Amino acid sequence: MAAQPASNSSGGLAEPFALSFDGPEGSDFEIARDGNAVWCTRRAGANVSVSMSQLEATLALDRSLMRGNLGTLKYKVIASAQAGVFSLGGDLAFFCRCIEQSDRAALSTYALLAARAVWANLSGFGARRIQSIAVVEGEAQGGGFEAALSCDFLIAERGVYFGFPESLFGLFPGMGGRALLETKLEPAVADKILLGAHRYSAEFLHEIGVVDYLTAPGEARKLAQTICALKATVDNNPKRKERREALTFGRLVTGVEEWVETAMSLTERNLRAMRYLLSAQQQRA
């Protein structure tokens, strides 16, 4: 087992990321290098939903990974330093504001950035062929679940939960959720998870093949380091590997367009449900 690197006060790795990182100032993320991996860790106290600034920071890192002098860098790891929360998904306050103001352009920009972030993980950052690892130590909902699914390795600790709550307010996972789940599950099973708005345990999702590795609490980061140290590669069964490799950015964009159209037609009743869930998220934060 590889030794866990020292952490600083924000819960990230001690060694600063050596590549040029042109993300926005005051980023919600700490970026650090650990051997052949770069860790992108959402800081404790940062926004628990995926804000526009978080998407911009993520994509700035991804651009650096695509063009940088990487040396031995082979993995990107995404994690959260906030106890109990990996990511609670899309920025519901932003969604409500865009819908109320009929700002289709802003909503489309957000959705497209999210799809690009998913695609970076899926595509291996272009010719670099960097593998991605999700370390899920807390709740992963909506877009947070999609981000985890987009990674080559999905590690989750026992006792954490995942879900897609979008159907509660008339939406659906629009940034690749369906396509990503269908690489691991038959469509009928994927539909139940996508549209049921239930919370699913990491244990159950591991049993049906959605979570790749299940660990005891406190062990997920160590397993991610072991994967990197051993230079492990994804060992999916042939059908799953074929499905994942068949995904295209065009398919993700098609889902984005449908998602934006649906969002812009939500009713006041839908928006009330969205605000209720937002209130619950804020209390959780």
Residues 217-248: tens digit of each pLDDT: 999 999 999 999 988 776 656 777 788 888 88
Instruction: Supply the mean pLDDT for the chain.
Output: 87
Half-sphere exposure of 28 (CA within 13 A, CB side): 23
For residue 190, what pLDDT is reported?
Answer: 94
Give the pairing type, strands 139-141 and 161-163.
parallel
Q: What's phi and psi for 173, nearest 5 deg?
A: -65, 110
Pick from 166, 160, 175: which is nearest to 256 by CA? Answer: 175
- Which stretch of DSSP H or E encloses residue 278? helix 268-284
pLDDT bin (cut points 50, 70, 90) of residue 285 is: low
39: which strand partners? 32, 77
Whether pLDDT at 214 is above 50: yes
pLDDT bin (cut points 50, 70, 90) of residue 85 is: very high
Contact 156, 248 (CB under 8 A): no
Domains of the chain (ranges; CATH) run: 29-284 (3.90.226.10)
Share of the chain above pLDDT 90, in %: 68
For residue 245, what pLDDT is reported?
Answer: 84
pLDDT bin (cut points 50, 70, 90) of residue 14 is: very low
Q: The whole model's pTM is what? A: 0.88
pLDDT bin (cut points 50, 70, 90) of residue 69 is: low
For residue 3, what pLDDT is reported?
Answer: 33
Q: Residue type for 52, please?
A: M
The residue assigned the tokens 């909902």 is 141
Whether pLDDT at 71 is above 80: no
